[in-house]
Structure 1
Amino acid sequence: MAEKKTILLADDHSVVRRGVALIIREKFPFIETMHAESFDEVKVKLKDMPVSLLILDINLPGGNTVKMIEQAKQIQPEMKILMFSAFDEEQYALRYIHSGADGYLNKLTSEDKIAEAVQTIIDGGKYISEKVKEKIFENALNNTHYNPLESLSNREIEIAELLVQGEGNLEIANRLNIQMSTVSTYKNRIFEKLEVNNIVSLVEKYKLYKE
């Protein structure tokens, strides 16, 4: 008889939790599922009972940073963690894997891939998609910076930080005593190097890699 295991599904959308729970129950009848809709609730439940696998939404209320992994592992060091997000795998997966997660799964993936990820991690492995594996190989061949912030110059870092803080082009120009056109040029370079196309994406990526 298979060992009884428990998976904690942490997502603030009930339809997502229920959908994943249905897939898990169908594929793994020996696995029990629990639900949490905030990171505070995750920590409470981790203190109450052992969990084999935590499926954790990146944008979970009360968490929303890579520090969630460290805090969860402090409560249950042996527990496995699978990040579950709609964020682009190529942009975010490696950061979370390097921070201690055991896998990264895109929310748009198929039911079979969800089952594959759960099985792989429960069996003691790591799970990333073929797309991310290709990215790792490409980075290794090209000796690409793992942390994209390292590709920014000191001035670009300075302007990026001001943009993240909500400063506009005019405010930055006045603060740094440079032309608005110069700020625009730096902003375009920052967006290109970090592979983002708006301020919201810049904030997300900067927060992810600055920690």
Structure 2
Amino acid sequence: MKVLVIDDHPLMRSAIKREIKDHKPQARVILCAHKDEGMEAIRNQTIDLVIVEIGIPGGSMHTIREMRAAARGIKILVYSSVNEAIYALPAVASGAHGFLSKDSSGDELRIAIDMVLDSKTYFSKTIQETLLSQVIANVDASNHNPLQTLTPRERIVVHLLLQGKKIKTIAEMLNLKESTVSTFKANVFRKLQVGSLIALSEKMAMLR
């Protein structure tokens, strides 16, 4: 069995490898520091399981989809420091088989690995409760992506903000009042839980 670990922190890569080898001594563990390096390994080798930190430079939901397209039978476990309440469901909707926070214990990592290898989906208890609440509310969990809460006009404002346009300029372009554009901006920041344009840019890149 081959397990590919993609993480940009050397100590974390070593720690994950140690957990895997302790749990599954027969596994061959391949370590990659960058997304492109990991994708090359996926394309050129038969990988059974990928454990990936989507918070690495260039990492996003698209990264997961790219992995699935490159090797359709591959199992993907996101093991990440990013907020699971925001990213866990979009990650699985994008094709991951599980999401585990790096705050979790080694035992939880082993459980997650076993479940994913057994073609089951792994979520923490917190996310399971969120899913249950959505089922009770009759909400489709596959649509649990914050970007989908943005209105068409809010998406346009986001696009222009990320191009570096000022509120006044956007108002003139869209024939709106500056106060209206400011309200759209505030709504976007609230829905995506960000406090700055830098954070907005990072979150948009991650969730696309």
Q: Same fold (TM over 0.5)?
A: yes
User: In structure 1, the residue corresponding to 2:50 is in which secondary structure?
Assistant: strand
Partner of 1:188: 186
C-alpha distance in structure 2 between counterparts of 1:57 and 1:8, whole Å: 11
* Aligned CA-pair RMSD: 2.2
Is residue 46 from structure 1 mapped to residue 42 from structure 2 by the alignment?
Answer: yes
Is residue 102 from structure 1 mapped to residue 97 from structure 2 by the alignment?
Answer: yes
The structure with higher relative contact order (CA 8 Å, sep 6+) is 2
Partner of 2:54: 58
Structure 2, unaligned stretches of length 5 or more? none
C-alpha distance in structure 1 between counterparts of 2:118 and 2:4, whole Å: 17
Letter in 2 for 1:136: L
| Per-residue deviation, 1:167 | 2.6
Identity %: 31
1:132-156 deviations in whole A, cap 9, x for unaligned? 1111222333355623333333322
Partner of 2:21: 25
User: In structure 1, the residue corresponding to 2:37 is in which secondary structure?
Assistant: helix
Is residue 86 from structure 1 mapped to residue 84 from structure 2 by the alignment?
Answer: no
Structure 2 vs 1, CA of residues 142 and 193 (structure 1 numbering), >3 Å: closer, same or farther? farther
| Per-residue deviation, 1:94 | 0.9
Structure 2 vs 1, CA of residues 171 and 85 (structure 1 numbering), >3 Å: closer, same or farther? farther
Letter in 2 for 1:182: T
C-alpha distance in structure 2 between counterparts of 1:113 and 1:96, whole Å: 18
User: In structure 1, the residue corresponding to 2:3 is in which secondary structure?
Assistant: strand
Partner of 1:116: 111
Aligned residues: 205
| Per-residue deviation, 1:208 | 4.2
Q: Is the 8 A contact 2:59 2:206 kept in 1?
A: no
Letter in 1 for 2:53: D
1:48-97 deviations in whole A, cap 9, x for unaligned? 33211011121334x42222223323333222111122111111111111
Q: Is the 8 A contact 2:4 2:32 kept in 1?
A: yes
Aligned counterpart in structure 2 of residue 170 of structure 1, from 156, 168, 171? 168
TM-score by structure 2 length?
0.85
User: In structure 2, the residue corresponding to 1:54 is in which secondary structure?
Assistant: strand
C-alpha distance in structure 2 between counterparts of 1:190 and 1:140, whole Å: 26
TM-score by structure 1 length?
0.84
Structure 1, unaligned stretches of length 5 or more? none
Partner of 1:151: 149
Structure 2 vs 1, CA of residues 143 and 158 (structure 1 numbering), >3 Å: closer, same or farther? farther
Letter in 1 for 2:66: Q
Letter in 2 for 1:116: I
Moved more, 162-171 or 142-151: 142-151
Is residue 68 from structure 1 mapped to residue 63 from structure 2 by the alignment?
Answer: yes
